[in-house]
Amino acid sequence: MSLPEPMIAALSDPNIAYILFLIGIVGLLAEVYHPGVFVPGIIGALALILALVAFTLLPVNWLGVLLMLLAVGLFLAEAHTPGVGLLGLLGVLAFVTGSLLLFVPFGVATTPRVSLWLVTLSTLGVTAFFLLLIRASLRTRRMPVSTGSESLLGKEGVVIADLAPRGTVRVEGEDWSAIAEVGPIKSGEIVEVIGVEGVTLRVHRPYEWRLPEAPSA
């Protein structure tokens, strides 16, 4: 089935093909690192399909494609490491080189090329995507999950029923059964959660710590 002439004309533009290729890569990776959103993945898949169709209409240099994919791999490796180091710089170099060679077959001097301004802006955008957004996503994944009663560790609350040593405290607007870790604590005093045992909190005054027991004679 032949494509409409306006679509063929658009896909024959190396700049449009280049943009579609980048949208495809970024969209699919965004879906991988943020699963369940679906929109980036769908857009990325459609863009990548259109980019591959465009590649059949243009003199593609597959070395340029490989360099761009290599750049993606280097950016991902850099995103998994702290700081911005050698892998990120090599990724930028590979991405720029691949972009410039994408539609330049070997031995051909006059051929459609991607705009240099577009390459520059795309390099900045893709680098920021990998080194900032994906790294932030990875940092969020590595954060310890703190839900339910475990999230109360370190929080401060107020005693609403004397702890002698058992009583009730209010933390984050909720009432909890609690046990005073060090001595009795009167109603109205501020306490800090230092442990969770089921639905019972272990608390002490923020400035109070258990004194070491004296050695037995």
Q: Are residues 125 and 165 in the same domain?
A: no
Residue 210 lies in a domain: no
pLDDT digits (tens, 9 = 90+) for 114-126: 888 999 999 898 8
Assess whether 108 and 174 both reside in one domain: no
For the chain, how many structural domains are there in total?
Answer: 2
Whether residue 137 contacts residue 130, with contact meaning beta carbons closer than 8 Å, is answered with: no
In this prediction the pTM is: 0.59
Burial group, residue 76, by CB count within 10 angstroms (0-12, 13-18, 19+): middle
Structure token digits, residue 138: 């990875």
How much is the pLDDT for 144?
A: 52
- Do 105 and 132 lie in one domain? The reply is yes
Within a domain: residue 79?
yes
State the pLDDT at residue 66. 94
Residue 118, token pair as written in the block: 């577009």
Q: pLDDT digits over 88-146, tens only? A: 889 889 999 999 888 876 555 555 678 889 999 998 988 888 777 766 666 655 555 45
pLDDT attached to residue 200 = 85
User: Range of 192's domain?
Assistant: 148-204
DSSP 25-50: HHHHHHHHHSTT--HHHHHHHHHHHH
pLDDT digits (tens, 9 = 90+) for 4-21: 778 888 888 999 999 999
